[in-house]
Amino acid sequence: MEALLTQVDKKIRTTGADAVLKSLIAEEVALVFGYPGGAIMPIYDALYNYQEEIRHVLTRHEQGAIHAAQGFARATGKVGAVMATSGPGATNLITGIADAMIDSTPLVCITGQVGSHLLGSDAFQETDIISISMPVTKWNDQVTKAEELPEALAKAFYIAQSGRPGPVLIDITKDAQFEEFDYQYKKCEGIRSYNPVPQLDHEQVKKAAELINGAQRPFVVFGQGIILSGAEEEFKTFIEKTGIPTASTLLGLSALPTDHPLNMGMLGMHGNYGPNKLTNECDLLIAIGMRFDDRVTGDLNTYAKQAKVIHFDIDPAEINKNVYAHVPVLGDCKEALTELIRNVRMNSHPVWHQRFKDYEKVENDLVIGEQITPTTLEMTMAEVMDSINRFTNGDALLVTDVGQHQMVACRYTRFNQSKSNITSGGLGTMGFCLPAAIGAKLGAPEREVIAVIGDGGFQMTIQELGTILQTQAQIKIVILNNSFLGMVRQWQQLFFDKRYSSTEMENPDFVTIAKGYGVAGKSINDREDLAHSIQEMLNHKGSYLLEVHVGKEDNVFPMVPSGASVSDIRLS
């Protein structure tokens, strides 16, 4: 790929290792997560001289490093940077890279590699990370000569954050790190044949506006594309002008304030009752910055077949991939919405809105009321989240792991500002939360970061408590402990005759473990201890772990069974 570059620095004689760090500084990277090792040691040695310009966060595992970089990127909108050594160091990044790829998170991953003369010889800690990472990166490159580094890194940062964001990996042989050359850095401003932002088709926008202006029961479904394009205000203006009810995907949460009158809740397998049901009753479905994931659509053969579909997306690969779009609009959401607003009419849909309110009342009466104010002796996950809401007033930054607690936390947390919901969506990576919360806090230190984790996912990256100890990142950790792999157990209960195969967990004393890492905490079992314990956690100066024992068979509803129509959503 031929890059279009602009000069930043004059030529200076330097090593490849120095060049990597100078390039990071040129890209305004001030924070890097990583773990050193033999093949990347020259870069880490050079890092010793750049400690004032670049802060390095030593995680306790490479998977922790990349999830932390994801949390940083999602909280800030900037590129997350990661470094790891060859072999197992590089392969330990793969889960996070795959997670970032499917969730459109911009990352630049730098891995060390054995000397170029050893490539292909099965040398110690040699792994073909280029071939391994190719399916889960937006672009990758192996650098064997120091002089190739500036252009490779410039391309990496440009590709990672342009268009639909994603992860990029640069693999650098050890000899390239030692080699000297005349360094000059030029930021990349374009690459031949790579068009990250399609040119907006104005005729398509007009066609979309015509359908919107003529619809009787329009419905907007939106995703993270709103956040990635910085189109929150334009989106809000659009729905307020047209009066169209709207619902969010899991990753779209917080793009629109939870209490906005046109926000009908969350879509998907554990989304709200009305948005799921009425997807199959609308006459126009307007999808903005979302990819029609199977957890949103359920059975594609029955999904919104009665409706015309408008699909706004920056990625041509998403158009007609799962759902046919009668009017596809390729381009950046912010640009497209800005033009759309000028072409749509003021409107309101009171009868259609009432349909959502009717379903909302059913869900409140049959599900939400019982979950938030339960009659059971055991605490529910929902009442814990509702109690947290009362203290944070929707201003906290929520980071969740994957499982029942994730769905409950995302359903019941209120969001007042964008970039407030960080979770693993498309890949569903257990172990994501704790390191991602560290990265989010370091990226947005002014935010109150609350990490909500299940007892299973917490133990997958529990060692990152050591990163909290070393960085003194102030994170509030809430473990919703049901002594089960809860989501799998729920499926076993509902669809496998309660055959709880390999899902019950015997857990350690989480509070004692946390104290060993310098993190204060407590464990509670009784409802009367909940409110003051949450207040104690939030008032504590420093990180804090609150373990809440919830019902072992506390389920998440509503629920669309896997492969079923969204119309078949269950309330129990």
Q: Are residues 71 and 18 in the same domain?
A: yes
**Segment 29-65, tens digit of pLDDT:** 999 999 999 999 999 999 999 999 999 999 999 999 9
C-alpha 343, offset from chain centre? 32
Asked whether residue 361 is domain-assigned, the answer is no
Q: Return the SS3 of 507.
A: coil
Answer whether 473's CB lies under 8 Å from 438's CB: yes
pLDDT beyond 90 at 114: yes
**In a shared domain, residues 97 and 221:** no
Q: How would you classify the pairing of strands 186-191 and 3-7?
A: antiparallel
> Does residue 369 fall inside a structural domain?
no
568 part of a folded domain? no
Residue 1: per-residue pLDDT? 45
Q: Can you read off the two tokens belonging to residue 216?
A: 């009787």
Residues 349 and 469 reside in one and the same domain: no
DSSP state at residue 37: -
347 and 416 fall within a common domain:
no
Phi-psi map region of 246: left, alpha, beta (phi>0 left; psi -120 to 50 alpha): beta
Can you tell me the mean pLDDT for 177-189? 97
**C-alpha closest to that of 5 among 146, 160, 150, 141:** 150
210: in domain: yes
486 lies in some domain: yes
| 3-state helix vs strand vs coil in the chain, percent to 5 | 40, 20, 35
Q: What are the residue numbers of the active site?
A: 62, 124-125, 174, 487
Write out pLDDT tens, residues 411-469. Answer: 999 999 999 999 999 999 999 999 999 999 999 999 999 999 999 999 999 999 999 99
* pLDDT at residue 3, rounded to an integer: 54
Residues 339 and 385 in one domain: no
Mode of pairing for the β-strands spanning 327-330 and 308-313: parallel
Could you give the strand order of the β-sheet that contains 421-422, starting from the edge strand earlier in sequence?
Answer: 421-422, 397-400, 449-454, 476-481, 544-549, 520-524
Q: Which amino acid is at 20?
A: V
pLDDT for 19 equals 98
**Digit-coded pLDDT (tens) for 132-141:** 999 999 999 9
Each residue's pLDDT tens digit, 121-130: 999 999 999 9
pLDDT of 519 > 90? The answer is yes
Residue 416 lies inside a defined structural domain of this protein: yes
**Residue count of the chain:** 572
| The pair of three-digit structure tokens given for residue 546, joined into one six-digit string | 């609150």
Q: Are residues 178 and 250 in the same domain?
A: no
Which residue segment(s) compose the domain that 164 sits in?
Answer: 2-183
Is residue 131 located within the same domain as residue 235?
A: no
Residues 235 and 111 in one domain: no
Structure-token pair, residue 453:
């984790």
The alpha carbon dihedral of 52, 466, 166, 312 has a sign of negative
Q: CB within 8 A of 31, min separation 6: which ones?
A: 54, 55, 57, 72, 81, 442, 443
| Residue 238 is assigned to a structural domain of this protein | yes
Domain count within the chain: 3
Which residues on neighbouring strands pair with residue 110, listed in sequence order? 83, 170
Strands (E), 102-153: 107-113, 139-143
Distance CA 224, CA 254 (A): 9
H or E stretch at 362: helix 350-363
Q: Is 217 found in the same domain as 174?
A: no
Work out the average pLDDT over 198-208.
Answer: 97
Residue 364 in any domain: the answer is: no
Per DSSP bridges, beta strands 107-113 and 80-84 are: parallel
Residues 470, 443, single domain; the answer is yes
402 and 527 belong to one structural domain: yes
Residue 2 has pLDDT above 90, yes or no: no
CATH value at residue 60: 3.40.50.970
The two tokens of residue 466 are 């050591």
Q: What is the CATH number of the domain that holds 255?
A: 3.40.50.1220
Give the separation between CA 378 and CA 554, rounded to whole angstroms: 9
**DSSP assignment string, 160-224:** HHSSS--EEEEEEEHHHHH-EEEE--EEEEEETTB-SSPPP-HHHHHHHHHHHHH-SSEEEEE-T
Please indicate, yes or no, whether residues 141 and 34 belong to a single structural domain of this protein.
yes
pLDDT band at residue 378 under the 50/70/90 scheme: very high
pLDDT bin (cut points 50, 70, 90) of residue 11 is confident
